[in-house]
Amino acid sequence: MAVDYTTHDGVAVITLNNPPVNGLGLATRAGIVAGMERAQNDPAITAIVLTGAGKAFSGGADITEFNSPKAMQEPTLATVIKTVENSAKPVVAAIHSVAMGGGLELALGAHYRLAAPGAQIALPEVKLGILPGAGGTQRLPRAIGLEAALNMIVTGAPVLSEKLAHHGLAQSGLFDELVEGDLGQAALAFARKVGAQQGPHPKVRERKIEHPNAEGFIQFARNSVAGLAKNFPAPLKCIDAVEAGVKNGFDKGLAFERECFVALVQTPESRALRHAFFGERAASKIPDVPADTPVREIARVGVIGAGTMGGGIAMNFINAGIPVTLLETKQEALDRGLATIRKNYEANVKKGKLKPEALEARMALITPTLSYDDLKNADLIVEAVFEELGVKEQVFRRLDEIARPGAILASNTSTLDVNRIAAFTKRPQDVVGMHFFSPANVMKLLEVVRGKETAKDVLATVMKLAKKIKKTAVVSGVCDGFIGNRMIEQYIRQALFMLDEGALPAQVDRAIEKFGFAMGPFRMSDLAGNDIGWAIRKRRYQEYPEMQYSKIADRLCETGRFGQKTGGGWYDYKAGDRTAYPSKRVDEMIVAYSKDTGIARRKIGDEEIVERLVFALVNEGAKILEEGIASKASDIDMVYLTGYGFPLYRGGPMLYADTVGLYNVERAIRRYAAQPNGHAWQLAPGIAELAAQGRGFNG
Ligand code: T1G
């Protein structure tokens, strides 16, 4: 049963009991209404307490019911809240831990509210591309005032309950009492007290919204939100709904809120945000690794290599309070690495992101060493040494000798075969890839590369640890480039072919940045260093002689134009200025290369640029799914949303393909396959199959 009903000397207690967070699914909603009716009809009951079992009062509407008929089935949340608000007997909401979204809206329908301190109070709907759809935009301003309410609704940010107990403006606070002790007992006592009082009991909806200049403030809110809301319609709609209630009263405001909700829930932006919300959680679930797989304790971590990657990796663990032994081969490299870590923290202190005393505490968690023996007690050792198999072999053979039994041995490799690395040890079951993205202490994405012998508890341990170090971990099988880099390879290939065929770097970058990417391929390459791609291509030419590439990027590198670090790459740069200025010299080089290769240049439109770049990702992603390298399309989307600057409001390459329709994606790919360089377009069978069934990657 999703709701429990108990009575205690004249007080009925309705307890939401729908783990994990008392999502307000249909059964829960029906249970609350049934409980309310039961209490109304019981003459012995003088008051009602509404509370939540387990880890939350309520996390809001049951998002697993979104876009399903159940979400709109009576009793809807609006009906539940009306039932509570119109109850002849006073209702006391007793809140602990979490009251979010519909959960907070439900509490706002009660006549009184008590809260334990430390509870997260929020209307986070805007983060899902919608707005509070059960009266939140109308009741919250009446409960805590226009400014505080607008801020919570438009940002979706949680506020701790103790901050809402009393409010500076005219209205009393959201909570009638903050309860340090036993919330249940306090709620029963409070309920008995109000149950003995003559009604009617206070309704939030009857409070006035007092503000000296509501119209002015709302306009100010609109102006400040405009930038933040650039690609997202929901924040501005939140303001519209609050304004409707201020201007036209509660009932009209409620009706308008409903209209806005129904409109927003259908938008592609909301679908993308919900997809990302679920994708983030789904990524930590590995199909063949049971959720209750025992995990190994990770109390101490070893990091080998104190370079850019090693230092960033070490910071992730010490940020989570896990001590790190940092190993280098030479003292000056070790000193340099420590200095870089300290510099990063000092920058955070300067930005106010870190307290000065916390800096020293974090640095104290690092034990620098030049000796492998100091790693012998580590529970996890992550190597971030030079990306060359021979070097990895030395490291893993040495680790096999000194690491304690059961230690997890992880490689940060971005391109090498984790199975071959595991084979350098006698414990391949303990070897896994942990591919961090640079800068490792900033980028959320972590590709967890599963070798064919990697043990399930190793995977479960690393996925849990990833959550602790605030990474979005996605499991990848072993292939060249895993998920992200394997797909970006085809994206870059198309970008280069389009230069041969008629486009120029600035045009390609502008088109894909207009689509929403943080940075186009050429600005990105100039930032990362064109020589990195050059080295990878040289290896590819050896390994995949049959795969044709444009050689324009090699020609650029042969002139030493590695990007920002050499003052020039695809673009020109001025000293101390990171602005990418189109380079006449490079553009001429591109035109000359087309001539040399006999390709007649043509005008390439932005739409073709975006299709060829994004569908190159989609096509390779489809192959990755078919090969089982990724277990679900949302994993691929999470890789692109958290590691490659794919626009969040489009939900990732695979969701974007679903939005376009795989029927149209297939037609476009077949069209490009018939053009020059069409050899690069080998349509993934999965796209044609799904298109024929009228389906998408995400159902
Ligand atoms: N419904 C159903 N399941 C939910 C859920 C929800 N609202 N929120 C979380 N879960 C699941 C989640 O998928 C995961 O499942 C587990 O709970 C633990 O979550 C009309 C329409 C509540 C702060 O946006 O912010 O109300 O992986 O890992 O870190 O206006 O979850 O274990 O199977 O995040 O302790 C608005 C979203 C809905 C709240 C808990 N509510 N949730 O954080 O655990 S829209 C939200 C959160 C709405 C009304 C509208 C967090 C949390 P599993 P978790 P956590």
- Residue 168 pLDDT grade (very low, low, confident, very high; cuts 50, 70, 90): very low
Question: Nearest to residue 83, comparing CAs of 137, 42, 34?
Answer: 34
Element holding 92 (H helix, E strand): strand 91-95
- Rounded to an integer, the average pLDDT of 629-653 is 97
Per-residue pLDDT at 387 = 87
Q: What is the pLDDT of residue 547?
A: 82
Ligand 1 pocket mutation pick from 26, 29, 63 by most atoms within 8 angstroms of CB: 63
CA of 16 to the centre of ligand 1 (A): 15
* Strand ranges (E), 96-194: 98-100, 112-115, 120-122, 159-160, 177-178
Contact in structure between 530 and 557 (CB atoms under 8 Å) = yes
Q: Is the CB of 64 under 6 A from ligand 1?
A: yes
Cite the DSSP H helix spans in 249-355. 250-265, 268-283, 308-319, 331-350
The SS3 call for residue 271 is: helix
Tokens at 302, concatenated: 């070893």
Amino acid at 373: D
Residue 100 Cα to ligand 1 middle (Å): 9
Tell me the two tokens of residue 299: 């109390």
Hey, how many other C-beta atoms are within 10 angstroms of the C-beta on 82? Answer: 17
Known catalytic residues? 105, 125
Alpha-carbon gap, residue 679 to 695, rounded angstroms: 27
Per-residue b or e along 100-110, where b marks 16 or more CB atoms closer than 10 Å to that residue's CB = bbbbbbbbbbb
Q: Would you say the CB of residue 669 lies under 6 angstroms from ligand 1?
A: no
- Output the residue whose Cα is nearest ligand 1's atom 18: 20
Q: And the tokens for 648?
A: 């969040």
The residue behind tokens 């790919």 is 669
The proportion of the chain whose per-residue pLDDT surpasses 90, expressed as a percent, equals 90
Cα within 13 Å of Cα(260), Cβ side: 31
Q: Which is nearest to 698 in space by CA: 583, 627, 621?
A: 621
Compute the distance between CA of residue 697 and CA of residue 699 in angstroms, rounded to an integer. 6
Question: Is the CB of 61 within 6 Å of ligand 1?
Answer: yes
State yes or no: pLDDT of 199 exceeds 90. no
Nearest to residue 315, comparing CAs of 416, 251, 384?
Answer: 384
Q: Is the CB of 280 under 6 A from ligand 1?
A: no
List strands edge to edge, sheet with 177-178: 3-8, 11-16, 47-52, 91-95, 112-115, 177-178
Q: What's the whole-number average pLDDT of the chain?
A: 95
- Report the distance separating Cα 346 and Cα 615, nearest Å: 42
| Pocket of ligand 1 contains residue 245 by CB under 6 Å | no
CA of 450 to the centre of ligand 1 (A): 28
User: Does the structure show a pLDDT above 90 at 326?
Assistant: yes
Pocket test for ligand 1, best of 18, 21, 285 (most atoms within 8 A of CB): 21
**Pairwise CA distance, residues 378 & 380, whole Å:** 5
Q: What is the pLDDT of residues 353-376, one digit of tens each?
A: 999 999 999 999 999 999 999 999
> Which residues lie below 8 Å from residue 407, measured CB to CB, with a gap of 6+?
378, 379, 380, 381, 430
Task: Specify which residues 120 forms β-bridges with.
Answer: 98, 160
Residue nearest (by alpha carbon) to ligand 1 atom 31:
59
> What is the rounded CA–CA span in Å between residue 361 and residue 314?
14
Structural contact between residues 228 and 126, judged by C-beta atoms closer than 8 angstroms: no
Asked whether 125 lines ligand 1 (CB < 6 A), one says yes
Q: How far is the CA of 21 from the centre of ligand 1 (A)?
A: 7
Q: pLDDT at position 171, please?
A: 44
Q: How far is the CA of 634 from the centre of ligand 1 (A)?
A: 18
Q: Is residue 484 predicted with pLDDT exceeding 70?
A: yes
pLDDT at residue 501 tops 50: yes
Are 410 and 462 in contact by the 8 Å Cβ rule? The answer is yes
CA of 52 to the centre of ligand 1 (A): 14
Indicate the helix (H) or strand (E) that contains 36: helix 26-40
Residue 153: CB within 6 Å of ligand 1?
A: no
Q: Does an H or E element contain 264, and which?
A: helix 250-265
Residue 253 is encoded by which pair of tokens? 């405001």
Q: Which pLDDT band, with edges at 50, 70 and 90, does 230 fall under? A: confident
Q: Which of 476, 391, 484, 477 is nearest to 443 (CA)?
A: 484
Is the shortest distance between the CB of 260 and ligand 1 below 6 Å?
no
Integer Cα distance of 589 and 569 in angstroms: 12
